[in-house]
Amino acid sequence: MILDFILEPLQYAFMMKALMVATVVGVACAILSCFLILKGWSLLGDAISHAVLPGVVVAYMLGIPFGLGAFVFAMLCVILIGLIKNNSKIKEDAVMGIVFTTFFALGLMLISKIVSSVDLTHVLFGEVLGISDESALYTTAILAVVSAIILIFRRVFLVFCFDPIHAQTIGMPVTFIHYAFLVLLAITITGSIQTVGIILVIAMLITPGSTAFLLTKNISNMIMIAVLVSVFSSVVGAYSSYYFDVATGGTIVFVQGIIFLAVLSYQKLTSSGS
């Protein structure tokens, strides 16, 4: 019975593809989320995720891949945030809020004139079960490379996140590391759009790392826990979309949220009990 439950969806190519892509996206977002939490950059993931919307619409207008337009606007967002922060007294979180809401509003304006409501839903919430073979291959390949780069250079990123002044003192190229990390973040977000959409990728970049941070302060264990949480949620989301006809991306994020609340509640109970 249980074996039938597991194997039945795997008879279909679209489900195999959805599971593969959702898992790869989950792994990449989980690894990045650990560093975003440690750096205190959760809002930056939010900012870039919203800022790519006009890029997607412009790409639609020009007939070029969505990922390319999204990546260009993601980098524009990062550059603009840096320019405003360095040339004003406004705090970084306020700058991020101003930039990403402006970009997102521009995207909504363009959509209202050009793109149908169906396309809007697809862009905002993803459609992993309907992803094309080409998009699935692109997403899997690019995010696998991103995950490998972050894991290989995790100690460098860890020093950068915890103590950039010390990193600069010992001769590390802090500015290069800063922008390299942002480029990897932008690639991950743009590569995840078709799977979970612009809105839900924000949660995937925050929740797994936050859950892992509750359980451990060791970066290697933190990454492992975040990846396990994200992969489990991705598999549950894909199976739920098949058996219950619910949104895959929404289910993935919902399961991640439930796991976070369960871990938080368990910690509160054990701490109060002791």
Number of structural domains (the chain) is 1
Model confidence at 117: pLDDT above 70: no
Q: How confident is the model at residue 6 (pLDDT cuts 50, 70, 90)?
A: confident
Q: Is residue 2 part of a domain?
A: no
**pLDDT one-digit tens code per residue, 58-72:** 888 888 888 889 899
| Four-point Cα dihedral 257, 150, 45, 82, nearest 10 | 160
Nearest to 32 by CA among 165, 180, 169: 180
**pLDDT one-digit tens code per residue, 67-99:** 889 899 999 998 898 889 888 888 888 998 999
Model confidence at 170: pLDDT above 90: no
Distance CA 223, CA 160 (A): 16
Q: Is residue 170 part of a domain?
A: yes
**pLDDT one-digit tens code per residue, 237-263:** 889 988 998 888 889 999 999 999 999
Q: Is residue 236 part of a domain?
A: yes
Three-state DSSP state, 94:
helix
Question: Which residues touch 189 (CB under 8 Å, ≥6 apart)?
Answer: 45, 48, 49, 52, 70, 74, 201, 205
Find the domain containing 177 and state its range.
Answer: 14-268
Q: Is residue 274 part of a domain?
A: no
Identify the residue whose tokens are 């990062």: 78
- DSSP structure class, residue 129: G
Identify the residue whose tokens are 């959805």: 18
The CATH number that applies at residue 75 is 1.10.3470.10
Q: Is residue 4 part of a domain?
A: no
How many residues does this entry show for the chain? 274
Q: Is residue 5 part of a domain?
A: no
Q: Is residue 8 part of a domain?
A: no
Distance CA 167, CA 146 (A): 22
Q: Is residue 7 part of a domain?
A: no
Distance CA 255, CA 22 (A): 14
